[in-house]
Each structure stands twice: as structure tokens, then as C-alpha cells.
């Protein structure tokens, strides 16, 4: 792997130059940027997935929907969908219409307006044109690289195990954007930290980040739901202690989930697929023969109607006590009168 990374460095340098001139064109005004009156919050990262963008989008929706009068919306590209153009999520939408992650959000937050569009500018224009149904705040899912739109506020995610300062640009590493782009964010969230994060670990990371980011840095960990949900029933995770499950994942980084199961004393056989994988009939036929089948919530959107008795393990970001107040205080205030 080290040799391959070295061999890929010339391609990474070339990719970096392309990125540099692209950002330079936007910064100098040669490429047009658009801003909108509706407050928008961009959730993004610098790497190829696995930082927890969808749980962060859901966290923001829970935060703003605490005010029942605030109308929320999510605008996403809809990665992996087979539909074309701009699509408004409805109760009749399928995972093929929206993509797995937007569909998950639509199912979990039916009161939120969800739009998928390759053009974030077109998506925002559509949302602002909804008149009395227009949202008071829009969450822009995975929009950091979409320079054509100017978000009101940007949250950058990076993981504890692979922070962007340790990574390299594609194809040598997993970075899809320049580390200097971190400066565009208003807050940096280090996700997937150990739940017993020590002060020494925190200080070490802050020292490394200091040369890349000068604003608010917060730390969070993943909290897995102790109740696993299915279409018609739920089970307790504790019921599987000492037993073996068949775990299906099609996510970028399943390692935190595996550590959670190991920590619970739950044995598993891991059926791992690539991120956003759409399961073929042959794969479904094989998976249908299994017992004690469990998956992630994202994968449940694609498997719930195809594998009987499957359950999903829900997850959410939780901020450490010293990080929660600064994070929520930094978020834009939204009024239903906007």
C-alpha cells in the first residue's frame, strides 16, 4: 500500500493543481457564485465519505424542529439514485428516486421538505419558490465542494481516526479537496471519537489542527441505539449478547459499528459491500437464507422490503459536554417569521 501511494503521488499533484485553479477561479470571481435569502447550513467534508454527514444532517433537523413552527428542508445531490434532474421527495418516493441517504432522511423526517438535485443552485431556487411552503432553513447535504452556492454557515466533518491533516489527495489518499479548504468552514467537528476521549487526546488533535483551522473545533462520538428496529417489530441489542448476527453494511467506514458490537459482546459475520451499493437479486437471494440479519439504517432503506425479519441499528452524533453548548450556540438562529 505504501508503494502504491508513492506511485500515485504525481497524479495527486496534478489533481491538486486542478483543484487549486478551480478554487482560484471562484475566489477571483471568474466563476459565478450564488447566495440566497433563506439561511442555509452546509454539511461537508474533505474526504471520500465516512465522516457521518447524514447523522449530522439529522442532528440539525432535530435541533431546528424543536421549534414546531420552523419549516426545514434538506437539499442533496441524491447520490446513487436512478432518477434524473430535480426531484421533490414525497410519501410515494422510493430509494431509487432519491438515493439511499436522502431516502433515509425523508423516512425519518417526513415533515421536512427534501429535494435532490445535482445543481444546488437550482435546488435552492426551487425551495425559495415554494411561497408559503418555503423553508425557514435549508441543510445542504455534502455541498462543500459545490462552490457555485454560497452557504450561510458551513460545518466541516473529519474523523478522529483519520483526520484530514493526516491524509493525502486522491489517488494517493482519500482527500477529494485541498486541506486549505477547511478555512471555508465556520466550525470543524471531529466525529467518531472514542466515548472516553481524554484531555490529552483532545489537546494533541487541537495542536495538529491549529495550522489548518483557527475557528471553533468540537468533538463528538457515535451513540448506537440499544433498540434495533424492523418493519413490524423491534429487538433489544442486549438480547444478542453472546449470539451471532449476520451484519450487512454498505457504508464507507463500518469499523465504529464493528467496535460497538464487539464491545457489546455480540458476535457477527460481516457481509461488507461498497458504499451506496444497490443489492442485486442474486445477492438478495443469498442474504434471504440468513438468520439474525441486521444492517445499518442506510442499508435498511434498500433491504427492508426484500429481506424478511431484518433489523437496523440506528446511530446519532453526540457532542461531549464541553462541546455541545459552543456548537449549538454557533449555529445560525432561525425564526419562523423569516
Helices (H), the chain: 2-27, 53-64, 95-98, 100-108, 120-128, 199-209, 255-264, 281-287, 297-303, 321-330
Query: DSSP state, 277?
Result: P
Q: How many residues does the chain have?
A: 338
Q: Record the pTM.
A: 0.95
Of 3.40.50.720, 3.40.50.11810, 1.20.120.10, 3.40.50.300, the CATH number of 40-222+318-330 is 3.40.50.300
Q: What is the residue-level pLDDT of the chain in tens, covering all 338 positions?
A: 566 666 778 899 999 999 999 999 999 999 999 999 999 999 999 999 899 999 999 999 999 999 999 999 999 999 999 999 999 999 999 999 999 999 999 999 999 999 999 999 999 999 999 999 999 999 999 999 999 999 999 999 999 999 999 999 999 999 999 999 999 999 999 999 999 999 999 999 999 999 999 999 999 999 999 999 999 999 999 999 999 999 999 999 999 999 999 999 999 999 999 999 999 999 999 999 999 999 999 999 999 999 999 999 999 999 999 999 999 999 999 988 65
The string of DSSP codes covering 174-211 is: SBSS-GGGGGG-SEEEEES--TT--HHHHHHHHHHHTT
Domain edges within the chain: 40-222+318-330, 226-313
Cα separation of 243 and 240, whole Å?
Answer: 5
Amino acid at each position: 500500500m505504501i508503494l502504491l501511494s508513492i506511485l500515485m503521488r504525481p497524479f495527486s499533484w496534478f489533481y491538486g493543481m486542478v483543484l487549486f485553479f478551480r478554487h482560484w477561479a471562484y475566489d477571483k470571481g471568474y466563476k459565478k457564485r450564488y447566495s440566497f435569502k433563506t439561511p442555509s447550513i452546509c454539511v461537508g467534508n474533505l474526504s471520500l465519505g465516512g465522516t457521518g454527514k447524514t447523522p449530522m444532517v439529522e442532528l440539525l433537523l432535530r435541533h431546528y424542529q424543536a421549534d414546531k413552527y420552523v419549516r426545514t428542508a434538506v437539499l442533496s445531490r441524491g447520490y446513487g439514485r436512478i432518477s434524473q434532474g430535480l426531484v421533490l421527495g414525497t410519501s410515494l418516493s422510493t430509494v431509487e428516486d432519491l438515493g439511499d441517504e436522502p431516502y433515509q432522511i425523508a423516512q425519518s423526517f417526513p415533515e421536512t421538505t427534501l429535494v435532490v438535485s445535482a445543481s444546488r443552485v437550482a435546488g435552492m431556487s426551487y425551495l425559495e419558490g415554494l411561497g408559503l411552503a418555503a423553508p425557514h432553513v435549508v441543510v445542504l447535504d455534502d455541498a462543500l465542494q459545490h462552490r457555485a452556492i454560497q452557504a450561510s454557515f458551513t460545518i466541516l466533518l473529519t474523523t478522529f481516526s483519520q483526520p484530514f491533516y493526516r491524509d493525502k489527495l486522491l489517488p494517493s489518499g482519500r482527500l477529494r479537496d485541498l486541506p486549505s479548504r477547511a478555512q471555508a468552514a465556520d466550525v470543524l467537528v471531529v466525529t467518531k471519537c472514542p466515548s472516553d476521549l481524554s484531555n490529552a487526546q483532545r489537546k494533541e488533535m487541537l495542536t495538529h489542527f491549529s495550522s489548518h483551522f483557527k475557528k471553533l473545533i468540537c468533538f463528538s462520538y457515535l451513540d448506537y441505539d440499544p433498540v434495533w428496529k424492523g418493519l413490524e417489530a423491534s429487538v433489544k441489542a442486549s438480547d444478542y449478547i453472546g449470539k451471532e448476527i449476520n451484519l450487512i453494511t454498505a457504508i464507507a467506514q463500518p469499523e465504529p459499528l464493528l467496535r460497538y458490537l464487539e464491545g457489546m459482546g455480540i458476535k457477527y459475520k460481516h457481509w461488507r459491500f461498497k458504499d451506496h451499493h444497490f443489492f442485486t437479486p442474486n445477492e438478495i437471494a443469498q442474504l434471504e437464507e440468513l438468520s439474525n440479519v441486521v444492517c445499518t439504517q442506510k442499508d435498511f432503506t434498500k433491504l427492508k422490503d426484500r429481506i424478511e425479519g431484518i433489523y437496523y441499528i440506528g446511530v446519532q452524533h453526540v457532542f461531549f459536554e464541553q462541546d455541545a453548548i459552543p456548537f449549538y450556540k454557533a449555529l445560525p438562529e432561525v425564526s419562523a417569521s423569516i
